[in-house]
């Protein structure tokens, strides 16, 4: 058993869910999050409200699942990310689980 954590910008939420389904990861949790990235200072100064910074609306998925399903998911995510024309790819990590009840 492993813990899969996936982050995705709002634009790619439906695609991420499709990739989870294609990998037979049918049990997962979802949480809305704000993603932040360092912005060059020239963009900050050109903002209407330079003192107000906001994150990108994103989603985090996490699932306790089998390693073979995660391998399939990673393969699909790599293929999906290759076709992107944005610098916001789907990101995923795996955390080993030592014990669970």
Residue 83 lies in a domain: yes
pLDDT band at 57 (very low <50, low <70, confident <90, very high): confident
Residue 88 lies in a domain: yes
Please give the tally of structural domains in the chain. Answer: 1
Residue 45 lies in a domain: no
Q: What is the structure's pLDDT at 52?
A: 52
Structural domain boundaries enclosing 74? 1-11+19-24+60-101
- Quick: pLDDT tens for 64-80: 999 999 999 999 999 99
pLDDT band at 100 (very low <50, low <70, confident <90, very high): confident
Residue 78 lies in a domain: yes
- Quick: pLDDT tens for 11-51: 999 999 999 999 999 999 999 998 777 665 555 555 555 55
What gap in Å lies between CA 18 and CA 41, rounded to an integer?
A: 37
What gap in Å lies between CA 84 and CA 90, rounded to an integer?
A: 10
pTM of the model: 0.80
Residue 47 lies in a domain: no
Residue 53 lies in a domain: no
Residue 31 lies in a domain: no
Helices 13-22 and 67-82: crossing angle in degrees, nearest 10, is 140
Residue 46 lies in a domain: no
């Amino acid at each position: 058993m492993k813990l899969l954590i996936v982050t995705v910008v709002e634009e790619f939420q439906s695609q991420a869910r499709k990739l989870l389904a294609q990998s037979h990861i049918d049990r997962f949790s979802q949480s809305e999050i704000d993603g932040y990235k360092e912005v060059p200072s020239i963009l900050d100064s050109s903002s209407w409200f330079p003192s107000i910074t906001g994150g990108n609306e994103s989603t985090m998925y996490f699932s306790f699942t089998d390693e073979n399903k995660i391998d399939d998911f990673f393969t699909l995510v790599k293929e999906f990310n290759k076709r992107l024309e944005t610098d916001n790819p789907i990101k995923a990590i795996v955390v080993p689980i030592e014990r669970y009840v």
